[in-house]
């Protein structure tokens, strides 16, 4: 049952219609929907058409008061008189025209100059006294542009271009959840012959996207020179009207297979028109109204459908059988396939920490020290991690388990097992560069004092800044002989000259008789 307005609301709507208000303006003012306003407008107009023959509107046809009683036959009135409104069918409504329609020629001329809708409205108000709002002009300009728009035909040479896209497939039972879901169907279409490849998958991840390309190339028995795609995240990192940023992995994949990725403009599907129409054909002809118990069942059906129906059809545009056209034109022009699959890797940006490492998947890899605080590019796979700075390889490391640090080139992996052990080995190596005597003293100091000898050895190395190498080695020799393992003793020995060193009594010598050869009687005699 239709809804009817209350008397005061109905009278308000009719009064506004009499004033010439548009449906949209009446809806905004009264809250009555435009459909309801249109119905009352039709009722109002149809009732006006039921007037007596010969009657005229007093406002539109002014006649003297003395002549109103003998009004002439309306059929004899001049063309354009309001009496023509009485010839409409009962219940019919007049076509609503925009308030800007009377300025159509002027608006078209302004559009040809490239003016915006805002500028056109401003000029209409200033030059022609236009009394309506900007929204009316904007809607009318939008309608004119739709009528004036034209889409060109995009021709492609054999083997030149392929278009790819995803669309929703038929309902399929997901074994992981036990629910019915619509998977994504990947479709690659050759633009010249319209032959294609389709496969259903559960996700649009980067790895899935790349492997679908490879399987499509192998099914089509060749590689196209250009792959046109929309701005999905697996292919485009940052969509831009003029300079989109291609995903680094997808760019490397394209270089491996020898094609050029070409993204379409954002929100402009007509650039990918052959694929859009091809995907619609797959949805309407192959998948509409069907359900599958598994993803494998849907893919098996799609392969059979492509082999028995899609490739055998006569295409509506080319007027040729798709498969025969492909064998004749596209297949000989496709580039040869690669024997090996693309080595998939991941990539990202990292900032070099103050400790000289970057983190990748919970592990830590050293970078050159001059890149501290810099943002670098990192690429990694299951076996290697590579660091790039301005597209130049600066370091490469083998993958290590989570929470572990990879060693720098030339360092022993065992040195990373303990920071203390690595520090001791480093100090001993530095002492050995000064001299063997200092390394021997350092080893004895570690044996005597343990881990507390680390700072003592650092102090011994610092003596080389103020004293000569000979002085430090002489002091280390004396300290080792007397087992002196305090920094103040070593420093005092290094500051003393050779003459100031304390004399040491020689107890054992070839010219000295051993004490055991002496007898007590020899001393008493």
Averaged pLDDT, 79-103:
59
Mark whether 394 and 473 lie in a shared domain: no
11-20, 28-37, 241-250, 504-513: the lowest-pLDDT one: 504-513
Q: How many domains are there within the chain?
A: 5
pLDDT digits (tens, 9 = 90+) for 488-505: 999 999 888 665 555 566
Is residue 261, in this structure, part of any structural domain at all? Answer: yes
Mark whether 130 and 39 lie in a shared domain: no
Averaged pLDDT, 115-140:
90
Residue 228, phi then psi, degrees to nearest 5: -95, 130
Q: In 3-state terms, what secondary structure has residue 385?
A: strand
Is residue 89, in this structure, part of any structural domain at all? Answer: no
Mark whether 247 and 295 lie in a shared domain: yes
Residue 63: its pLDDT value, please? 38
Residue 397: its pLDDT value, please? 93
Decide which of 333, 366, 398 is a domain's last residue: 333
67-76, 89-98, 116-125: the lowest-pLDDT one: 67-76
Residue 267: its pLDDT value, please? 81
pLDDT digits (tens, 9 = 90+) for 266-320: 888 888 989 999 999 999 999 999 999 999 999 999 999 999 999 999 999 999 9
Q: Which DSSP string do the residues of 170-237 spell out, in sequence order?
A: --EEETTTTEEE--EEEEEEETTT--EEEEEES---HHHHHHHHHHHHHHHTSB-SEEEE---TTTEE
Higher pLDDT, 146 or 390: 390
Nearest to 362 by CA among 374, 372, 350: 350
Q: What is the mean pLDDT of the chain?
A: 84
Is residue 425, in this structure, part of any structural domain at all? Answer: yes
Residue 58: its pLDDT value, please? 43
Check which CATH number belongs to the domain holding 172 and give it.
3.30.420.10
pLDDT digits (tens, 9 = 90+) for 61-87: 443 343 444 444 444 444 444 444 444
- d(CA 422, CA 428) in angstroms, rounded, equals 10
pLDDT digits (tens, 9 = 90+) for 353-379: 988 899 999 999 999 989 999 999 999
Does the pLDDT of residue 459 top 50, yes or no? Answer: yes
- d(CA 201, CA 295) in angstroms, rounded, equals 7
Residue 296: its pLDDT value, please? 96
pLDDT digits (tens, 9 = 90+) for 241-259: 788 888 999 999 999 999 9
Residue 75: its pLDDT value, please? 47
Mark whether 224 and 283 lie in a shared domain: yes
Range of the domain at 143: 101-148
Is residue 93, in this structure, part of any structural domain at all? Answer: no
């Amino acid at each position: 049952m239709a809804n009817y307005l209350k008397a005061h609301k109905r009278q308000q709507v009719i009064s506004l219609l009499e004033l010439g208000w548009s449906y949209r303006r009446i809806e905004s003012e009264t809250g009555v929907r435009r459909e309801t306003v249109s119905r009352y407008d039709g009722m109002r107009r149809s009732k006006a058409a039921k007037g007596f023959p010969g009657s005229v509107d007093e406002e539109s046809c002014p006649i003297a008061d003395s002549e109103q009683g003998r009004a002439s036959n309306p059929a004899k009135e001049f063309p354009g008189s309001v009496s023509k409104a009485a010839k409409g069918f009962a219940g019919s409504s007049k076509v609503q025209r925009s308030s800007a329609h009377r300025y159509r020629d002027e608006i078209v001329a302004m559009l040809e100059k490239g003016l915006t809708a805002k500028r056109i409205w401003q000029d209409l108000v200033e030059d022609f006294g236009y009394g309506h709002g900007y929204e009316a002009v904007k809607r009318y300009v939008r309608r004119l542009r739709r009528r004036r728009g034209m889409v060109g035909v995009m021709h492609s040479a054999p083997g030149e271009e392929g278009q790819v896209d995803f669309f929703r497939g038929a309902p399929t039972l997901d074994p992981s959840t036990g629910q019915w879901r619509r998977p994504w169907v990947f479709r690659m279409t050759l633009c010249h012959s319209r032959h294609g490849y389709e496969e259903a998958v559960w996700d649009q991840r980067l790895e899935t996207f790349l492997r679908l390309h490879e399987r499509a190339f192998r099914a089509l028995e060749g590689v196209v020179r250009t792959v046109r795609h929309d701005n999905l995240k697996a292919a485009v990192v940052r969509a831009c009207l003029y300079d989109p940023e291609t995903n680094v992995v997808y760019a490397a994949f394209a270089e491996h297979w020898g094609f050029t990725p070409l993204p379409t403009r954002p929100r402009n599907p007509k650039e990918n028109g052959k694929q859009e129409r091809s995907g619609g054909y797959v949805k309407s002809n192959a998948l509409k109204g069907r359900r599958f118990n598994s993803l494998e069942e849907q893919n098996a059906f799609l392969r059979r459908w492509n082999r028995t129906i899609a490739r055998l059809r006569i295409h509506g545009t080319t007027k040729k059988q798709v498969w025969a056209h492909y064998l004749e034109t596209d297949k000989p022009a496709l580039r040869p396939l690669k024997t090996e699959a693309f080595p998939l890797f991941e990539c990202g940006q990292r900032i070099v920490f103050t400790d000289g490492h970057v983190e990748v998947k919970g592990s830590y890899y050293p970078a050159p020290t001059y890149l501290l605080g810099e943002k670098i590019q990192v690429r990694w796979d299951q076996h290697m991690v590579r660091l790039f700075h301005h597209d130049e390889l600066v370091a490469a490391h083998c993958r290590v388990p989570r929470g572990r640090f990879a060693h720098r080139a030339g360092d022993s992996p065992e040195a990373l097992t303990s920071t203390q052990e690595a520090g001791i080995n480093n100090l001993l190596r530095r002492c050995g560069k000064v001299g063997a005597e200092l390394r021997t003293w350092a080893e004895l100091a570690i044996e005597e004092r343990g881990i507390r000898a680390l700072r003592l050895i650092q102090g011994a190395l610092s003596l080389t800044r103020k004293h000569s190498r000979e002085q430090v080695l002489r002091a280390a020799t004396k300290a080792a002989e007397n087992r002196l393992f305090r920094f103040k003793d070593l420093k005092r020995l290094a500051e003393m000259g050779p003459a100031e060193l304390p004399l040491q009594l020689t107890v054992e010598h070839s010219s000295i008789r051993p004490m055991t050869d002496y007898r007590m009687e020899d001393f008493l005699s």
